[in-house]
Amino acid sequence: MTERDENEALRQSLRELLIGEGPAEPPERAEALRTVLEFLDREYYLQAEQVVPDSDYDRLFAELRQLETEHPELLVPDSPTQRVARGLADTSATVTHAVPMLSLENSYNAEDLLEWDRRVRGLSGADEVEYCVEPKFDGSSISLQYRNGLLNRGATRGDGVQGEDISANVQVIGGIPKAAAFDQLGAALAEVRGEVVIDKAFFARMNETREAEGLPRFQNPRNTAAGGLRMKDPAEVAQRGLETFVFHLGYAVNADGEDLLAASDSPFQTHSGNLDHLLNLGFRVPGEAMGLRKGIAGVLAFIREWEQRRDDYRYEIDGMVVKVNSLALQRRCGATAHHPRWAIAYKFKAKQASTRLLRVEYQVGRTGAITPVAKVEPVSLAGVTISSISLHNQDQIAEKDIRIGDLVKVERAGDVIPYIAGVVAEARTGREEEITFPPKCPSCDGPLARAEGEVAVRCTNAECPAQAEERLRHFVSKNAMDIDGLGKDIVGRFYQEKLLRSITDIYKLDYPHIEQMKGWGKKAVTNLQQGVERSKSRPLFRLINALGIRHVGITTAKALTRHVNGLDDLTSLNQDALMQVEDIGPVVARSISEFFANPRNQELLAELEKLGLNTRTLGEEKPGQGVLSGKTVLFTGTLQRLGREQAKEVVERHGGRNMSAVSPNLNILVVGEKAGSKLKKAREIGSIVVMTEDEFLAFTSELR
Ligand code: IVH
């Protein structure tokens, strides 16, 4: 069974148990309850997903305990009822932090901060204090211990005194050097603290992929990072895109056990100096997002600047942290049992708000799945107004018991997609209405059906226009054929105007006509035409993904291409052969073979091949790998060796992403001749690496 099939089977079993169905005989029922409770624990702790409300979990748990009391022979040592706490298997080792991992005091406005500065000045006796200001990363805390220059132990924060040992996992997390020459600084033992985070764009892509593969979306980068840190299999941890920023040196002692952080002749005299040391040793520090300011006024200005830039920053941050820079002064300030007095967090405006659920509309996806979308009273969440929120499917509505008229809690996750975290049950008046699904497809009036074991309700009309439009959108999208110049809105407009009705129409567009259309000009049409042309030579996995075969997302598409020499090969594989491909089970195999057996699809493929699309070469592209993996690149000025399109292809070939403008999200700017304002802007931002064309080619080993 694939992960998805298994997941669906477990959810089905869960639904049965919750309504009192499922196996009736005590041994089978106990077994089913154990399996489902373990599944819920796994989702909760490892995937950070709460599948059912606590009350349902507790009910199943109580039923299992009751059964085990009545039938002691059914009790097994690893039953969920025998564990310390919900899901906290006592198998993972606990570590005691040598120096407790304290929390931070919070402040929410300028007054709080001025008051704190007054206290610090009072404690230190200084008129003006130098502060280091840095982002407050919204991820998961981590402690890394180095002994004789080698990464010796990794731990979570836990309750601050004790955490979980995650030494195996830290080996595969980005930004954590396995060796760091602390001995050069005289330290035989040192502890570095930081935050494990996930790049917002990576997080969004990961969720898109999960969705395409029928897996539940992750809620936000923080939970996903926290869950990722504690996964049992480091190979899986490595898939989560975890990265680490460090922001604190916990302790540093020499071979005689002397505390170097307190010694006046050690290299450790200021916080910013410590971060410089850490940077030199190979750690990642907040960099451009960090500022040294004398006096609280400058601190406030820096914080305000970053509150503005917050959404453009690559990682989720929920505030800024202000720290006294001098370690001697820090010691004078001291700490409470809860937090140091030399640091304070300034929290940005919350990303949670409550608003009224007005009505529910229904959207039709490319597979016919009907997605309920909540229309809410517009509410501002950290600077963005939200009025529409996807409710994903019927089960989610039932799980959270969401009703029309409810006051709902809205949150925005790292991928900027808002979601309803829950309802404010206390605010109910009794006049709230249940959400009822429409009996027919809202687009074509076609019949709806819910397949056994599936969460989605689908329109079954093969001719449904909403589905056709969505299929086109999927075909051109980033993970599929990635057609530049043909975005979602343009597909919608072309569809309305009957320029685009089927996938093959993309390759027969009437460009002279488009050029005459409102809002279009020569440049935009050339761009579109080039985008369409470029898509013809995409690697095969992209085409397979673009076809929109049920249950086949980008991962499965890649796995398939590793087993065949071209599309022809694939069409001839039967279900048994398909099941030899990694991660493909009976459900996916059936879906693939049904797709290729359908004469209409065969016609489509033949026509695409005739139109010049690559159906054979598997392609070299391996996103996420190569020297530019995770990096964004922009070209400016006149290039001498490469054409623009060629240059963009080099970026993609090496796992990078092309950008169209200079922003703090840009990593590399490649400058040709006569580079102008873009170069100036990049220099102002400061964090962008500027390369010449030759340097870029050398970097990507394309210089021949
Ligand atoms: S300093 C002794 N700096 O916030 C001071 N913490 O609310 C140690 N955090 O557990 C913390 N960004 O996980 C510090 N730049 C930053 C931070 C930061 C995020 C987290 C950290 C800590 C929590 C306290």
- pLDDT per residue over 99-158, tens digit each? 999 989 989 889 999 999 999 999 888 889 999 999 999 999 999 999 999 999 999 998
Centroid of ligand 1 to alpha carbon of 344 (angstroms) = 9
Mutate to test the pocket of ligand 1, among 313, 321, 333, 348 (most ligand atoms within 8 A of CB): 321
* Confidence category of residue 82, pLDDT binned at 50, 70, 90: low
Q: What is the residue whose two structure tokens read 């996750």?
A: 413
Nearest residue (by CA) to ligand 1, atom 14, is: 247
Which atom of ligand 1 is found nearest the CA of 320? 15
Asked if residues 611 and 543 have their Cβ atoms less than 8 Å apart, the reply is: no
What count of other Cβ atoms lies within 10 Å of the Cβ of residue 301? 13
Which atom of ligand 1 is found nearest the CA of 339? 2
Q: What is the residue whose two structure tokens read 């490649």?
A: 670
Q: Is the CB of 242 under 6 A from ligand 1?
A: no
Q: Write down the pLDDT at residue 405.
A: 95
Q: Is the CB of 314 under 6 A from ligand 1?
A: no
Mutate to test the pocket of ligand 1, among 141, 229, 303, 306 (most ligand atoms within 8 A of CB): 141
Quick one: which H or E segment has residue 697? helix 693-699
Most confident of 97-106, 211-220, 639-648: 97-106
Q: Is the CB of 134 under 6 A from ligand 1?
A: yes
Quick one: which H or E segment has residue 395? helix 394-400
Hey, what are 307's tokens? 């509150």
Tell which residue, 488, 590, 604, has the closest CA to residue 544: 604
Residue 528 CA to residue 564 CA, distance in Å, equals 31
User: Alpha-carbon dihedral of residues 52, 242, 248, 140, nearest 10 degrees?
Assistant: 0
Quick one: which H or E segment has residue 480? none
Lowest mean pLDDT among 35-39, 468-472, 645-649: 645-649
Statement: residue 45 has pLDDT above 80: no
Q: Is the CB of 306 under 6 A from ligand 1?
A: no
* Confidence category of residue 622, pLDDT binned at 50, 70, 90: very low
Which atom of ligand 1 is found nearest the CA of 340? 2
Tell which residue, 260, 261, 253, has the closest CA to residue 342: 261
Q: Write down the pLDDT at residue 413.
A: 58
Asked if residues 70 and 77 have their Cβ atoms less than 8 Å apart, the reply is: no
Residue 244 CA to residue 228 CA, distance in Å, equals 13
Q: Give me the half-sphere count of Cα atoms (radius 13 Å) on the Cβ side of residue 631.
A: 25
* Confidence category of residue 3, pLDDT binned at 50, 70, 90: low
Helix (H, G, I), strand (E, B) or coil at 331: helix
Centroid of ligand 1 to alpha carbon of 157 (angstroms) = 10
Centroid of ligand 1 to alpha carbon of 136 (angstroms) = 6
Q: What is the residue whose two structure tokens read 């300034």?
A: 346
Residue 403 CA to residue 397 CA, distance in Å, equals 8
* Confidence category of residue 586, pLDDT binned at 50, 70, 90: confident
Statement: residue 556 has pLDDT above 90: no
Residue 230 CA to residue 224 CA, distance in Å, equals 10
Q: What is the residue whose two structure tokens read 């008129």?
A: 127
Q: Is the CB of 195 under 6 A from ligand 1?
A: yes
Statement: residue 571 has pLDDT above 90: no
Centroid of ligand 1 to alpha carbon of 223 (angstroms) = 16
Q: Write down the pLDDT at residue 536.
A: 94
* Confidence category of residue 86, pLDDT binned at 50, 70, 90: very low
Percent share of the chain, pLDDT over 70 = 93
Hey, what are 356's tokens? 């009224």
Most confident of 130-144, 196-210, 221-235, 661-675: 130-144
Tell which residue, 615, 489, 645, 634, has the closest CA to residue 542: 615
Residue 153 CA to residue 220 CA, distance in Å, equals 27
φ, ψ dihedrals at 543, nearest 5°? -65, -40
Nearest residue (by CA) to ligand 1, atom 23, is: 103
Centroid of ligand 1 to alpha carbon of 103 (angstroms) = 7
Asked if residues 158 and 266 have their Cβ atoms less than 8 Å apart, the reply is: no
Q: Write down the pLDDT at residue 91.
A: 47
Which atom of ligand 1 is found nearest the CA of 106? 7
Centroid of ligand 1 to alpha carbon of 101 (angstroms) = 9
Residue/partner pairs of 117-121 with CB below 8 Å, 24 or more apart: 117/296, 117/299, 119/341, 120/324, 120/329, 120/333, 120/341, 120/342
What are 414-454's pLDDT values in tens digits? 546 788 988 998 889 999 999 999 999 999 999 999 887 77
Asked if residues 402 and 389 have their Cβ atoms less than 8 Å apart, the reply is: no
Lowest mean pLDDT among 194-203, 649-658, 661-670: 649-658
Catalytically annotated residue among 136, 323, 351, 400: 136
Asked if residues 347 and 318 have their Cβ atoms less than 8 Å apart, the reply is: yes
Give the residue, 474 or 417, on which the prediction is more confident. 474
Q: What is the residue whose two structure tokens read 């299992």?
A: 64
Q: Tell me, what amino acid is at 96?
A: T
Q: Write down the pLDDT at residue 85.
A: 41
Q: Who contacts 493 (Cβ-Cβ below 8 Å, separation ≥6)?
A: none
Tell which residue, 307, 309, 330, has the closest CA to residue 320: 307
Residue 548 CA to residue 605 CA, distance in Å, equals 13
Q: Is the CB of 321 under 6 A from ligand 1?
A: yes
Q: Write down the pLDDT at residue 90.
A: 40
* Confidence category of residue 48, pLDDT binned at 50, 70, 90: low
Q: Is the CB of 103 under 6 A from ligand 1?
A: yes
User: Alpha-carbon dihedral of residues 10, 13, 19, 20, nearest 10 degrees?
Assistant: -140
Q: Give me the half-sphere count of Cα atoms (radius 13 Å) on the Cβ side of residue 656.
A: 23
Statement: residue 178 has pLDDT above 60: yes
Q: Is the CB of 136 under 6 A from ligand 1?
A: yes
Q: Write down the pLDDT at residue 625.
A: 61
Tell me the pLDDT of the chain averaged across its residues. Answer: 87
What are 290-318's pLDDT values in tens digits? 999 999 999 999 999 999 888 789 999 99
Quick one: which H or E segment has residue 339? none
Q: Write down the pLDDT at residue 44.
A: 66
Q: Write down the pLDDT at residue 301.
A: 95
Tell which residue, 39, 9, 7, has the closest CA to residue 22: 9
Centroid of ligand 1 to alpha carbon of 143 (angstroms) = 11
Q: Write down the pLDDT at residue 623.
A: 45
| Segment 392-407 mean pLDDT | 89
Nearest residue (by CA) to ligand 1, atom 15, is: 136
Q: Tell me, what amino acid is at 566?
A: G
Residue 247 CA to residue 54 CA, distance in Å, equals 36
Helices (H), 497-614: 511-516, 522-535, 540-546, 554-561, 567-572, 575-578, 586-597, 599-610
| Segment 581-599 mean pLDDT | 88
Which atom of ligand 1 is found nearest the CA of 141? 13
Nearest residue (by CA) to ligand 1, atom 18, is: 136
Q: Is the CB of 102 under 6 A from ligand 1?
A: yes
What are 529-541's pLDDT values in tens digits? 999 999 999 999 9
Reduced to 3 DSSP states, what percent helix, strand and coil does the chain have, rounded to the nearest 5? 40, 20, 40
Q: Is the CB of 343 under 6 A from ligand 1?
A: yes
DSSP 356-423: EEEEEEEEE-TTSBEEEEEEEEEEEETTEEEEEEE--SHHHHHHHT--BT-EEEEEE-TTS-EEEEEE
Percent share of the chain, pLDDT over 90 = 49
Active site residue 440: no
Lowest mean pLDDT among 558-567, 622-631, 651-660: 622-631
Q: Write down the pLDDT at residue 88.
A: 34
* Confidence category of residue 624, pLDDT binned at 50, 70, 90: very low
| Segment 38-47 mean pLDDT | 72
Helix (H, G, I), strand (E, B) or coil at 522: helix
Q: Is the CB of 157 under 6 A from ligand 1?
A: yes
Nearest residue (by CA) to ligand 1, atom 17, is: 136
Centroid of ligand 1 to alpha carbon of 380 (angstroms) = 27
Lowest mean pLDDT among 20-29, 91-100, 150-159, 358-367: 91-100
| Segment 581-588 mean pLDDT | 81
